[in-house]
């Protein structure tokens, strides 16, 4: 009877007590060994949090354009095991439809905010969003971040729009194209531009931007001005791309950066000394 009692394993509050080498040890259920991988039980103790996917991979239409199939990246377990503990409840909803744009929010629940969950990688998953009507020529704006359009796309896929919008103006010597060149210059809003030279492949713009502190009531301690910088561009298939900038006369600065830049477009340009230089509004 005494021997039988000594063989009993006592389980108290989820902990197993046992004797190893004469010392009593406690091992909590679901806790990983030092340096080990979290167990499913440990991960289950980490709360779920709803948030946005890490990226939108692709969007396509189904059902005659009335449904969007949105493929995103959701949290996953390293090694491809225990996926069910990392992501659940993926869904997309239409927030509103305004001025030719469908606004969609895609979210899911995850434990990836706590690395003890083991949800340290990602995997693709697709959710479907029913639209009030066929997408047609409408743009689709997902999570206030990515814009997609059917225009210029190979159906049933939608095309992701770029930094210049879904249908940027063709690259050329036009006001609309110069407007887009400002985006690559990353200048403040309401900057102004003056064209100094353009041949369809190369471009010179003088871009003027307001400078100074943001002040409530102008006074002697609150002053602002305009700084003008000369920007040089070359044309790519879909946009003007900046080469370099200068405030000096001539071609020296751009020819150092790009020897192929034609001297005819910059040889006669003057140094920029006038802080009040103005040009056409950037919009």
User: What pLDDT, in 10s, does the model give residues 100-119?
Assistant: 999 999 999 999 999 888 99
Top pLDDT among 45 and 271 is at 271
User: pLDDT at position 18, please?
Assistant: 34
pLDDT 10s digits, 190-242: 889 999 999 999 999 999 987 655 555 555 555 457 889 999 999 998 889 99
CA distance linking residue 52 with residue 270, whole number of Å: 51
Q: What is the mean pLDDT of the chain?
A: 81
Q: What is the DSSP secondary-structure string of 223-265?
A: -EEEEEEEEEEEE-SSSEEEEEEESSSSSHHHHHH-TTS-GGG
Beta bridge partners of 268: none
- Residue whose C-alpha is closest to residue 157's, from 135, 180, 172: 135
Work out the average pLDDT over 86-107.
Answer: 96
Tell me the two tokens of residue 276. 């009040």
pLDDT tens digit sequence for 23-80 = 333 333 344 444 444 444 555 689 999 999 999 999 999 999 999 999 999 999 987 6
pTM: 0.60
Better-scored residue on pLDDT, 154 or 82: 154
Q: Which residues make Cβ contacts (< 8 Å) with residue 89, sequence separation at least 6?
A: 50, 107, 108, 109
Q: Cβ(136)–Cβ(65) under 8 Å?
A: yes
Confidence of residue 259 (pLDDT cuts 50, 70, 90): very high
pLDDT band at 6 (very low <50, low <70, confident <90, very high): very low
Output the pLDDT for position 187.
84
Q: What is the pLDDT of residues 159-184, one digit of tens each?
A: 999 878 888 888 999 999 998 898 88
| Calpha distance 75→118 (Å, rounded) | 10
């Amino acid at each position: 009877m005494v021997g039988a009692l000594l063989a009993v394993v006592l389980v108290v509050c989820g902990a197993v007590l046992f004797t190893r080498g004469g010392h009593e040890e406690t091992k909590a259920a679901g806790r990983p060994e030092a340096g080990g991988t979290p167990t499913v039980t440990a991960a289950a103790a980490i709360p779920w949090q709803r948030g946005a996917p890490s990226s939108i991979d692709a969007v396509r239409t189904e059902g005659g354009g009335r449904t969007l199939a949105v493929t995103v990246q959701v949290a996953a377990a390293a090694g491809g095991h225990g996926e069910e503990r990392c992501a659940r409840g993926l869904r997309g909803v239409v927030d509103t439809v305004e001025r030719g744009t469908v606004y969609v929010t895609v979210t899911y629940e995850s434990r990836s905010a706590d690395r003890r969950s083991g949800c340290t990688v990602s995997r693709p998953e697709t959710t479907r969003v029913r639209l009030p009507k066929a997408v047609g020529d409408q743009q689709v704006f997902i999570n206030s971040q990515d814009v997609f359009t059917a225009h210029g796309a190979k159906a049933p896929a939608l095309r992701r729009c770029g930094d210049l919008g879904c249908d940027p103006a063709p690259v050329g010597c036009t006001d609309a194209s110069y407007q887009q060149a400002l985006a690559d210059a990353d200048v403040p809003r309401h900057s102004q531009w003056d064209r100094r030279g353009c041949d369809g492949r190369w471009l010179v713009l003088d871009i003027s931007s307001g400078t100074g502190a943001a002040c409530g009531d102008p006074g002697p301690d609150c002053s602002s001005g305009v700084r003008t910088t000369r920007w040089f561009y070359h044309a790519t298939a879909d946009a003007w791309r900046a080469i370099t900038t200068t405030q000096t006369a001539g071609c020296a600065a751009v020819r150092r950066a790009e020897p192929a830049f034609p001297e005819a477009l910059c040889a006669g340009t003057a140094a920029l000394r006038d802080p009040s230089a103005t040009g056409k509004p950037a919009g």
